[in-house]
Amino acid sequence: MRGKTALITGGGSGIGRAACLALAAAGAAVVIAERSRETGEAVAAEIAAEQGRAIFIHADVGERSSIEEMIRKAVEHFGSIDCAFNNAGIVDGSRSLLSSTQANWDAVMSVNLQGVWMCMQAQLTHMIANGKGSIVNNASRSGLRGVPSDAIYGAAKHGVVGLTKAAAVEFGGQGVRVNAICPGLVDTPLTRSRFGEGFAEKAAMANPMQRAAQPEEIGAAVLWLCSDASSFVNGVALPIDGGSVAR
């Protein structure tokens, strides 16, 4: 990845942080786009401590103007964007389709689906002009199968998979690959806070490997999809779930 620039949204923690560190370790210059200045700057400092190159850009993927500014600053600083990981997302607190509200729907769709769409538009415009690029979208196991407690979240993630496949078909001939990852249960602070004390039991039942993924395992897949090692992989929604959707 030496000589390439990677843009990661939601790069301040969890899967995003792991992807930032993996890409930086492989030699990429990393743009950490994040709403939290504290966590974003902390990841940039981690990379710098290992003699890597990284900058933090404050960004909100729910706002088109913020996305456009994010792209402008990234290109201004590093010259181009060669790959992007659209990772920023939120969870749905309603837990049931019947108890969900318009506010639940609007919040989740604004970030998890519309945010990915708007980021892709800006990234694709830049990459098509350069004649090359790789985009990875963070979908979910919930984007591949029905999860009863995740109706709105799952609808958004199914939408991300659809956007990914459509973009892969439309722009593959212009040198830009678009893929999605579909993680299952991942051991992140957000996941642990959601499941509380029952996290270990939930993880043991979640997949045939009987454990949660570590963020670094997801970051490794993002690195591969961003790199030339996956040069003929396009339009894939890759489960990284310990075999959960294989059941």
State the catalytic residues: 153
Contact assessment for residue 33 and residue 57, using Cβ atoms and an 8 Å cutoff: yes
Residue owning tokens 């722009």: 171
Report CA-CA distances (Å) from 101 to 97, 105, 150: 9, 6, 13
Report CA-CA distances (Å) from 11 to 19, 36, 88: 8, 9, 8
As a whole number of angstroms, the distance between CA 5 and CA 28 comes to: 5
As a whole number of angstroms, the distance between CA 94 and CA 210 comes to: 27
